Structure 1
Amino acid sequence: MRSIRTHEPGGAYGKVAAVISGGSCVVEIIKSGGWLMLPIILCSIVAIAIIIERFWTLSAARISPRYTLGQVWTWIKNNELNAARLRELRLASPLGQILAAGLVNSKYGRAAMTVSIEQAASQVIHDMERYLNTLGIIAAITPLLGLLGTVLGMIDVFTEIMIQGTGNANALAGGISQALITTAAGLCVAIPTYMFHRLFMRRVDTLVLNLEQESIKLVDALHSDRRVEVKEIGNP
């Protein structure tokens, strides 16, 4: 944190006053916050990149297309399920990857098919949860980085008070305001990051439930005494 020397027109008070009055740019705000603003900004960039990527990746249409199970059942009924179809299914979507794993081992019975589906599903779930831990870590550490910046800034403020005394209230207020910039920045990053982290975790839970339901439909259709109609298979 910078010193709050009262005799310098461009000191902390002047910078903070310029920020508050709207006369300063974002660069000046970052400079006023000190070097700890850099890791906070880096965390914000990483968080934005993860949020955009996860929004694209965790769409229901991409993970579990509505038509997939109905198409598989049509191939089975028409005796068109072969290696080429399985490869096409596996590459089409995460749901297709799970169903293809089960179909490969369906001839060995319900238990073998279920185990294959569970193994493929574990990999799919791992992929869906990718980067979410990083998002949670960013939400947790950015307020701490901001608080650390504030603590260091307050140390500077009280050091100046020891040297110069408390005669200049404006300089003292400016130094405290400068010290609080990092805390505000850390919270501005942490709050939306935490919200998106919880949103994505909930979305993953919903998608996993849907994948499980679709897989159970296929297992029941191939290894169950209950007659399953094509319309029932095709329902999401």
Structure 2
Amino acid sequence: MNVYDTLVAGGVLMIPILGCSLLATMIIIERLWSLRASRIAPPSLAEEVCELIQQGQVNLFWLESHSPLGGVLAAGLRNARLGQDAVRARLQESATAVIHDMERFLSPLGTIASITPLIGLLGTVVGMIQVFAVIVGAEGAQRTSELAGGISQALVTTAAGLAVAIPALMFHRYFQRRVEAITVRMEEQAGRMVEFLAHHSGDLTLAERHEPRGERA
């Protein structure tokens, strides 16, 4: 039995399972590309910002367009003159938005991991109902093809549901862990910048217009 025959044997419930498989694949590929630590929270960005503060100026336009972490740090720098509490509050607000963006599509992926085994189980139940309906028929013993069809649907849908759910669940847990790791990195870098500002806030000059990094207004 080839792949096509196997899918056909699964019956109409293979359609939502295949749909979930396609959606899960798209989400996994998109999140693998988007949830790169180097893109969201470059490891040396806080140090670069501290150096620019020492030089006397930070270009907020460059910082905000640099990375999501850059946007968080820029939000904190805008409140630098209001004290550390204001800076920390603004950093927290901005970081919350970034974390929310990192968690995008993880809920649908988790849902797919949860519902596809249930769809497979439903296919199993439907297949067994068909089998028993044939058995109780007057010519049940001779209708082997229909019996085989019901059993095939029961087995194929269960296997397909699990085949989609297992990798979806694995990637869902993996992405959750990656979001946590990136969040910790962001918190560490933001903390370093706040600590640096506590001793060098008087050196800070902010530029808003688009200009090369480190260039003074």
What's the CA shift for 1:31? 1.0
Deviations 1:139-191 (A, max 9, x none): 00000001101111111111111112335667645531332100100000000
**Count of residues in Structure 1 that have an aligned counterpart in Structure 2:** 199
CA distance in 2, matches of 1:172, 1:192: 31
Letter in 2 for 1:64: A
Counterpart selection for 2:129 from 140, 146, 155: 155
**Which residue of the partner structure matches residue 53 of structure 1?**
30
Partner SS, residue 34 of structure 1: coil
What's the CA shift for 1:88? 1.2
**Which residue of the partner structure matches residue 205 of structure 1?**
180
CA distance in 2, matches of 1:114, 1:43: 41
**Which residue of the partner structure matches residue 70 of structure 2?**
96
CA distance in 2, matches of 1:131, 1:165: 48
What's the CA shift for 1:66? 2.0
Gapped runs of 5+ residues in structure 2?
201-217
- Whether the aligned pair in 1 keeps the contact of 2:123 and 2:153 (CA below 8 Å) is no
Moved more, 156-165 or 206-215: 156-165
Deviations 1:94-117 (A, max 9, x none): 110110000010110000000000
Partner SS, residue 223 of structure 1: helix
**Which residue of the partner structure matches residue 164 of structure 2?**
189
**Which residue of the partner structure matches residue 16 of structure 1?**
none
Higher RCO (C-alpha under 8 Å, 6+ residues apart): 2
Listed as ranges, the matches of 1:1-236 within 5 Å are 19=1, 24=2, 26-81=3-58, 85-163=59-137, 164-166=139-141, 172-173=147-148, 175-223=150-198
What's the CA shift for 1:44? 0.5
Gapped runs of 5+ residues in structure 1?
1-18, 226-236
Deviations 1:32-81 (A, max 9, x none): 10111001000011100010110111111111112311221121111122
TM-score, scaled relative to structure 1: 0.80
What's the CA shift for 1:134? 0.5
TM-score, scaled relative to structure 2: 0.87
